[in-house]
Structure 1
Amino acid sequence: MMHTRLLQTAHVFAIDGTESGRGSSLLRGTLPLARHRLLLSVATVAIALAAGFAAGRSLPSASIAAPVSVPAAVAADPDLPATITLSESKLANLQLQIEEAKSGPLVHAVSATGSVGYDQLHVARIRPVARGRIESLDVNPGDRVVAGQRLAVLDNFDLSAAHSRALSAEAALGQAQAQLKAANAAYDRATNLIRNDLVTQAEVEARRATVATMEADLRTKQAELQQYREEEARLLPMRADATGASLSGDQPTSGSRGAIVAPFAGVVDSVSVAKGEITDPATPILTVSDLSTVWVQADVAEKDLGAVRVGDAVEVRVSAFPGRAFTGRVTYIPDQIETTTGMAKVRCAIPNPDGALRVNMFANVTILSPQGGDAVLVPSESLQDVNGQSVVFIPTGGRQFAWRVVRTGPVANGKTQITSGLAAGAAVVGEGSYWLKAALMQSTSPDQG
């Protein structure tokens, strides 16, 4: 109705101005020029008002759903309603997300890249303990082995000599024991004969000295035998019968031949010898690794290094398994930064029971570093500023929401620490809390429909 009246008024003024223009030749002397200008101005204003009102009536209702600015006078008004009540349609349109205030440490996430490597504490680079010939080779690269499983048989050249020395020492020890026995018998006879003055005291003392000499020689031979046996044991890594395995029928189990066995369960990564080849202790012949745990070396930027601590939780993701996160812990933080990259190689131990992680895989690493003790945490989007204070909106039932002033602490990982004003377990509005703030400040709810 108002729109129609404004258009009619504009039309009347326009006609009046037109007729005045036509009669200007008759009344040129009697109608002042100022009246012409006044009539044209009034007509222009009326047309502008009518056009503006029509444009306002034609705006779609969806435009009201845009964020509503808070008037300064209202923002400064402390007398705000304690709760907000939404209609069912408005509540459905806003699609508010209800979150729970949780108790826990504020976690700072440090992102880095890295690569998967061996757990160096469980990699055995097996070398022969002495020079010798490979009599047999029982494994190939990629084979899985158990602890104590035979890997190869070595004909140890040095072991043969050590075994001969041990046998010689055993014979010498037997001879020394016999000599001591004879010396003790001679001394006992001399002791009996001196009672009848059949031998001199000097003879008895001489035989006593012989016994002492034989006892010392016996101890020397015992020490030599022990030394040669220990040398032989060092040169023979482990005999097959000591691990529950047995050598094949065409491989003798005596002398210089001994089994080289796996020190733990794992995978044979490399074999660098062939049957019949002569080896020495300077060259590894087999590599066995236990991949049940792997090390991921994460390149952490210097600016993030201060937030990382040994024991922090780690999440590792690789492109081979895009939907899977491998978890572990930080085990070592280096004392120096690499000069070429400005990064620190932070070591992370990652359990790998199924062997999914392979050595040299590229990895995306997230280190979750707790900041301080446990606190109440809420999503950062649930906080709004009302009259210069941080508030959260709490659902109270029946489509009602109450607002509560809280004190905030540090922010990390999309979470904000609440130091006071809210208890753990309380429900708060997360995404969509801005619309509740707008409704609170204007005492109405925005409508998105």
Structure 2
Amino acid sequence: MRLAPACRAMFLMLAPLTAWAQDGPPALPPVVHMDEKAAVNEGLAITVAKPGHLVASLPVMTRVMPDAVRVVHIHPAGTGKVVQVLVQPGQVVRRGDGLLRYQDHSLHVARLQAIQLRAALSAAIAARDDAASACARGRLLAGQTVSVAELRRRQDALAQAQATVRARQADVDTLGHRFAEEFNSSSEHDGTDEISTLIAPFDGTVMTLDTSLAGDLTPAMDVASIADLSRVWLVSDLPPEQAVRVQPGGTQVTQTAQGSVTSQIETVDGVASPLTGLVRVISAVPDPARRLMPGTVLDATLQTHEDAGGIVVPAAAVQEINGQSVVFRRLDSATYAPVVVMVVLEEGGQAVVQGGLQGGEPIVGQGSFALRSIIGLAGMDAD
């Protein structure tokens, strides 16, 4: 087969090819010619090969999740029945805002118990005061109308009465602590008529609300959850063979509707999930503007610990010819020399190559396929 005159006019003239080897592919020609006008028509772009290194990255799907340490699950302190629901899932709340109110039966029982304990304390104090008065009179009359044995009995009675007062006071203090720390806390405060209100412990977003009007509540129930979404997790689930390629401290770049978000890989689970067989990789991202919606799935890349150094060229500059990777070095405005290289790593449209190139040499970046085509067509013509 021979090149048609039209093909020769477009690609001009190829330098004489080296003779075909009898037992292998043909050798590359020393140079390829293409005049400036043809180069412009074919979109050839000249760039400079530069020394450098690239770090490999891993494309993944990542999902947005609330930061687990910034999620609080709200439990009621007592048992009761919901009388008013004040929020909805997804609603932004401020610290102290009410979530729901409920008739707190435990609060009612505790208040009745408080009355009983205060009454018991008052009775113990009265008994102690009587014992103290009897003991004081006994000391004044000791050896006269009051025997020494009777004085000792009165002193023992006083000590016992004082111990009873301390015990009753401890009961009152314990219940008071319960009112202060259980029925009134960062997530709940009590009110009048045994109505308790569950409140937001910090500024955040209502993630879940698992009750309704007239619903029954118990302390074991997870009634609601509040999340601080000013910082979220980006979670990727990887097969173990990919997870070993990434490590904490690496960079994650996530594509969102507003642009790319760069974060740092914080944790790589040491074991795979028994349910999925995948390894969880977590990156944390500050998000004060609430741009990242929990549950969203996004495209991302994870930096690996694999890197390579050498000469960095555009990946489009590398062409496969006769099973070899070739880059075209520009000799002058119309002459290009094919240089065999070895591609060590390709990443982000760039490639690290080793071989016959030196840093600072001009090479064909975009459009090198046209030069490859000339070699292919000339080889066919040689047939």
2:226 to 288, 312, 319: 288
TM-score normalised per structure 2: 0.69
Summarize deviations over 1:81-126 as a string: whole Å, max 9, x none: xxxxxx998997885444685877x422112224333433333343
In the alignment, structure 1 residue 360 sits paired with structure 2 residue 291: no
**Contact 2:313–2:353 (CA under 8 A) maintained in structure 1:** no
1:137 to 85, 106, 124: 85
Summarize deviations over 1:137-174 as a string: whole Å, max 9, x none: 22223321112211122221011111221232223223
Equivalent pairs counted in the alignment come to 359
Over 3 Å counting, the alpha-carbon distance change for 1:56 and 1:309 in structure 2 is: closer
Helix, strand or coil for the counterpart of 2:192?
A: coil
Which runs of 5 or more structure 1 residues have no equivalent in the other structure? Answer: 1-51, 81-86, 243-251, 385-389, 439-449
Letter in 2 for 1:336: A
1:325 to 242, 251, 260: 260
In the alignment, structure 1 residue 212 sits paired with structure 2 residue 159: yes
Name 1:203's counterpart in structure 2.
150
**Contact 1:129–1:234 (CA under 8 A) maintained in structure 2:** no
Which stretch of structure 1 is more off in the superposition, 180-189 or 209-218?
A: 180-189
**Contact 2:89–2:206 (CA under 8 A) maintained in structure 1:** yes
**Contact 2:71–2:225 (CA under 8 A) maintained in structure 1:** yes
Over 3 Å counting, the alpha-carbon distance change for 1:350 and 1:68 in structure 2 is: farther
Distance 1:292 1:329 in 2: 16
Distance 1:260 1:212 in 2: 45
Name 1:36's counterpart in structure 2.
none
Q: CA deviation at 1:202?
A: 1.5
Summarize deviations over 1:31-74 as a string: whole Å, max 9, x none: xxxxxxxxxxxxxxxxxxxxx9xx998864431477996899xx
Q: CA deviation at 1:192?
A: 3.4
**Contact 2:75–2:224 (CA under 8 A) maintained in structure 1:** yes
Distance 1:102 1:236 in 2: 68
Letter in 2 for 1:355: R
Over 3 Å counting, the alpha-carbon distance change for 1:418 and 1:63 in structure 2 is: closer
Over 3 Å counting, the alpha-carbon distance change for 1:96 and 1:205 in structure 2 is: same
Helix, strand or coil for the counterpart of 1:140?
A: coil
2:132 to 176, 184, 188: 184
Over 3 Å counting, the alpha-carbon distance change for 1:270 and 1:111 in structure 2 is: same
Letter in 1 for 2:69: L
Q: CA deviation at 1:257?
A: 1.9
Distance 1:132 1:182 in 2: 43
Distance 2:358 2:199 in 1: 60
Letter in 2 for 1:183: A
Distance 2:125 2:358 in 1: 86
Name 1:349's counterpart in structure 2.
284
Q: CA deviation at 1:289?
A: 3.0
Return the structure number with greater helix share.
1
Distance 1:206 1:215 in 2: 14
Which stretch of structure 1 is more off in the superposition, 222-231 or 209-218?
A: 222-231
**Contact 1:327–1:351 (CA under 8 A) maintained in structure 2:** no
Which runs of 5 or more structure 2 residues have no equivalent in the other structure? Answer: 21-26, 320-324, 373-383
Q: Percent of aligned pairs with the same residue?
A: 21
Q: After TM superposition, list the pairs within 5 Å mapping 1:44-443 onto structure 2.
A: 60-64=8-12, 96-98=45-47, 101=50, 106-194=54-142, 197-233=144-180, 235-238=182-185, 253-254=191-192, 256-317=194-255, 321=257, 324-330=259-265, 331-333=267-269, 335-336=271-272, 343-371=278-306, 378-379=312-313, 381=315, 411-413=345-347, 415=350, 431=365
Return the structure number with greater strand share.
2
Distance 1:152 1:159 in 2: 16
Letter in 2 for 1:267: T
Over 3 Å counting, the alpha-carbon distance change for 1:408 and 1:328 in structure 2 is: same
Over 3 Å counting, the alpha-carbon distance change for 1:58 and 1:364 in structure 2 is: closer
